[in-house]
Amino acid sequence: MIGNYPVHLAILVLLWGYIYTSWSLMGRLGLVSFGHGAFMGIGAYTVVMLWNYYGVSPWLGALAALALSAAVAVVIGYPCFRFRIVGHYFALVTLALSEVARLIITASRDVTGGSLGVTPVTALNEGTTIALGALQFSPKLIWLAIVALFWLGGLWVWRMVDRSMGRLALQAIAEEEEAAASIGIHVTRAKLRITIISALMTCVGGILYAQYQLYVNPDTVSGLAISLQMVFGVIAGGMFVMLGPTVGAAFTLLLAEGLRLAFGNKYPALDTTIYGVMLVLFIIYMPKGILGAVLDFFKRNSGRRP
């Protein structure tokens, strides 16, 4: 029997690895979004609210959450891409989106519990440890399997996107938007497609997070802080290789846990302090992230040998 703690860590690494992978689908093609907190929040809160108030099974709730995420992605994405809002402006418009999500959840405190957060009504008791309809499981190994499955699915989507014509189109757009348009690439459509995929996947991440933790809070699933966490996790790991976002998730989590084990809770923010310094150094000296730099290193070494 494996202890619960390593399993818990593995679940978190794979879950965040999956969410970071979803973000990178856009990020690596020049669409740096600070708005993914909104999609995670929509996923987590739609499902929990429908379950708590109307007893709607999370399986159906997930459909509603996905529909809502897609709608938001289109409402924000379409005008952004149509009116050529790129770079800093895109980052800051999406930043407004994730703050809107956080503020709406916090402000509707009569329904959502505000910043105190909310717990899904439990379907588990001493007899039942698995409630399939309520998507609540107490054995952690089940969660490990579920999260691993979604993580692999995320990597599969990455691969599919990589092999498609759409990726070439998006890469061309990221290089030079006008030139891409002039050779017949439908810029708005290409960007919108990848945005919807990325938003839907992030929304699923939010749902899984809520159902696994059985607690959600506007600050842990939406808002600027969580959106920044996604962006920087990806940068630390490496945005341009398939496993980079997962490496980023593992790195940040293990750094935090390692320091916590070494120092206890004496220095509460030590991990983020070190993490912040490392991020700055990464972006300046290692813009391809940990995994990108490691791969480059091996490529150089193998190139030297005849």
Partner 1 sequence: MSDIFDIYLLEAVLNGLLLGGLLALLSLGLNLVFGVIDVVWICYAELIMCGMYCVYYLHVQYHWPLILAMLAAIGVVAFLGYILHQFVIRPVLSAEPINQLLVTGGVLFFLQAAATLLFGIEFRNLGVSLPAVHFGEMSFSAPRLIAFGTALGGVVGLYLLLTKTYVGTAIRAISQDRTIMPLMGVDPARIFAITSALGGAFAGLAACLLVLQYDVHPAIGLSFGPITFLICVLGGLGNLVGGFIAAFIFAQFIAVGGFFFALEWGYVIAFIFFIAAMFWRPRGILSK
Token pair recorded at residue 134: 């309520």
Q: Smaller CB distance to partner 1: residue 67 or 93?
A: 93
Q: If binding is defined by CB under 8 A, does position 279 make contact with partner 1?
A: yes
Q: If binding is defined by CB under 8 A, does position 264 make contact with partner 1?
A: no
Q: If binding is defined by CB under 8 A, does position 121 make contact with partner 1?
A: no
Query: What residue ranges in 105-155 does DSSP mark as E strands?
Result: 130-131, 136-137
Residue 2 Cα distances to 7, 10, 252, 293, angstroms: 7, 12, 23, 33
CB-based burial label for 96 (10 Å; 0-12, 13-18, 19+): middle
Q: Smaller CB distance to partner 1: residue 30 or 117?
A: 30
Q: Smaller CB distance to partner 1: residue 135 or 253?
A: 253
Q: Smaller CB distance to partner 1: residue 37 or 58?
A: 37
Euclidean distance between CA atoms 41 and 20, whole angstroms: 15
Q: If binding is defined by CB under 8 A, does position 287 make contact with partner 1?
A: yes
Euclidean distance between CA atoms 185 and 107, whole angstroms: 42
Residue 166 Cα distances to 29, 124, 170, 279, angstroms: 11, 44, 6, 31
Q: Which of 9, 91, 148, 294 binds partner 1 (CB under 8 A)?
A: 91
Euclidean distance between CA atoms 29 and 170, whole angstroms: 6
Q: Smaller CB distance to partner 1: residue 22 or 229?
A: 229
Binding segment (CB under 8 A) for partner 1, from list 42-50, 57-65, 264-272, 291-299:
264-272
Q: Which of residues 8-47 bind partner 1 (CB under 8 A)?
A: 30, 32
Q: If binding is defined by CB under 8 A, does position 116 make contact with partner 1?
A: no
Q: Smaller CB distance to partner 1: residue 123 or 177?
A: 177
- Do 261 and 250 form a contact (C-beta atoms < 8 A)? no
Euclidean distance between CA atoms 26 and 194, whole angstroms: 6
Q: If binding is defined by CB under 8 A, does position 258 make contact with partner 1?
A: no
| H or E element in which residue 197 lies | helix 187-213
Token pair recorded at residue 13: 């690494």
Euclidean distance between CA atoms 227 and 243, whole angstroms: 20
- Minimum CB separation of residue 279 from partner 1 in Å reads 3
Q: If binding is defined by CB under 8 A, does position 92 make contact with partner 1?
A: yes
Q: Smaller CB distance to partner 1: residue 10 or 76?
A: 76
- Minimum CB separation of residue 237 from partner 1 in Å reads 14
Q: If binding is defined by CB under 8 A, does position 261 make contact with partner 1?
A: no
Which residues of this protein are in contact with partner 1, per CB under 8 A?
A: 30, 32, 76, 79-80, 83-85, 87-89, 91-93, 95-97, 99-100, 103-104, 106-107, 223-225, 228, 231-232, 235, 267-273, 275-280, 282-284, 287
